[in-house]
Structure 1
Amino acid sequence: MTNVTFLPWVNPEQNQPIASPVNAGEATANSHDVPEGVSRLSAVLFIDVEEPEEVSAAGLDLDALEQSLLRKLNSQDMSVFEVQQWLASKDAPEADAAELVAKCERLNYLNDERLAHELASRLSERKGKSKSVITRELRQRGISTALISAAVESIDDDDELHKATELALQRVRQFSRLDDVTAERRLVGFLSRRGYSGDIVRAACKEALSSRS
């Protein structure tokens, strides 16, 4: 038999395994099933943990992101391109962003064709902007060339001349102290900045200046 030597500060009688209360009273035949000093699983408490809400690969709450997008669309007109840019600024993964855009289009919350016509009408009638300026502004909002062309087709040359003349008549009233040459120069610059063609500018200025006499 091998002699075991203990270190001076070790009392072998104090290091005997203590029977676990869980195993107390069990048959010794089962003692080989569980190593000494190891509690059985029946003594371990398991706590149910509530599963977290579904989030994207980027750690975003997709439901919250969708609600935020819908509130934004409710408060302002946006093109598909603008929504894509907004989602990118929120670090939305491409797949999730594409799914949200498709859903908004399917529900008609997003519609570039409708938006192009509404903007063309608004910019022409309320802002007095020409087709060239409207085209540029719609392009800046990411609307396709085909949709822009269809939208501005509804604005014909007669409409543009009428609007340009209306704007010139309003502006010429502010030039009562100016001579005709100076007033005409101011009117030409004013209408040209709105993108009207040379023919329309000349016709509108002529009509406005004739109202001064």
Structure 2
Amino acid sequence: MTGDDRDGQPARAASSSDRDREDRLSRAAAALAAAEGMVAAAGPGPRRAGGRDAGSVAPPPDDPAAQSPEADPESVARAIVLRQLSMAPRSRAQLERKLRQRGCDDDVAARVLDRMTQVGLVDDEAYAEMLVRARHAGKGLARRALAHELRKQGIDQDVAEEALGQVGAGDERMRAEQLVQKRMRSLHGLPAEVQTRRLAGLLARKGYSSEVAWPVIREAVGAAPEHQRD
């Protein structure tokens, strides 16, 4: 399992990869503060409805302020990125899509994101590791489903494989057992074939292979009190 104390599993001691990850997150936090300072020091951009300027919140592409000759495209792009990152971690590909949606030039977007990557504010490795930990522990996703999630977010295959290394075969088996045990509480009293079918559907949706799913399901259904013979 991961280092988080979830589902009753004890947290393991911090590894060097955990410490490296914390270092990256600390650097990213410092870079965010520095980047926000750069935006503030640049002064207010073109005003928009409600009194905000392009240096703090970028105007939407159909806002006349976005077309102002006074607008600095890189400042606007940087503000969009900072706002996105202030709401939740993002992959570089997600930020590229958002900048394109907001009408930013591809070259401008590339320069801004390159700089953000250099200072550690955009970090696909840290993002991928975070996503794998969160979705495996929180949603119970298996490696196959996690790989699909990483592809959707535009994570490079090598980076994805490294992040997926956090979830081993034993972790998958343990998480599948937890999911099945939880679901069995709501399936109590149903015929064994119904329980089996519903549990199989649950684990399939979470990305578990049949090699992992079926032994766990057979064990859980076979141990159910309603299927025990006197």
Scaled by the length of structure 1, the TM-score of the pair is: 0.69
Matched, 1:170 2:172: no
Match of 2:33 in 1: none
Q: How does 1:114-133 map to 2 (within 5 A)?
A: 114-133=126-145
SS of match in other structure, 2:146:
helix
Cα deviation digits, residues 164-205 of structure 1 (max 9, x gap): 010000001111131112111111111112111112111211
In structure 2, distance between residues paired with 1:58 and 1:112 = 33
The alignment's C-alpha RMSD in Å is 2.2
**Does 2:111 match 1:99?**
yes
Mark the CA change 1:158 to 1:58 in structure 2 (over 3 Å): closer, same or farther: farther
Determine whether 1:149 maps to 2:134. Answer: no
The number of residue pairs the alignment matches comes to 161
Question: Counterpart in 1 of 2:100?
Answer: 88
- Is this contact kept in 1: 2:77–2:109, CA < 8 A? no
- Deviation of the 1:72 alpha carbon: 1.3
Corresponding position of 2:80: 68
Deviation at 1:67, TM superposition (A): 2.0
Partner of residue 196, structure 1 = 208
Residues 1:106 and 1:97: Cα distance change in structure 2 (over 3 Å)? same
Amino acid of the residue matched to residue 160 of structure 2? Answer: I
Is the CA contact (8 Å cut-off) linking 2:77 and 2:112 kept in structure 1?
A: no
Distance 1:66 1:151 in 2: 27
1:115 is matched by which residue type in structure 2?
Y
Structure 1 distance, partners of 2:100, 2:211, is 44
The structure richer in helix per residue is 2
Deviation at 1:138, TM superposition (A): 0.5
Cα deviation for residue 97 of structure 1 reads 0.9
Unaligned runs of 5+ in 1: 1-51
**TM-score, with length taken from structure 2:** 0.65
Unaligned runs of 5+ in 2: 1-44, 47-64, 226-230
Q: CA deviation at 1:56?
A: 9.8
Q: Deviations over 1:81-111 (max 9, x none)?
A: 1111111112212221111101211221110
> How far 1:58 moved relative to its partner?
8.8
| Aligned residue type for 1:102 | D
Hey, what's the Cα distance between the residues in 2 that align with 1:113 and 1:157? 22
Kept after mapping to 2: 8 A contact 1:165/1:207: no
Identity %: 24
Distance 2:77 2:156 in 1: 26
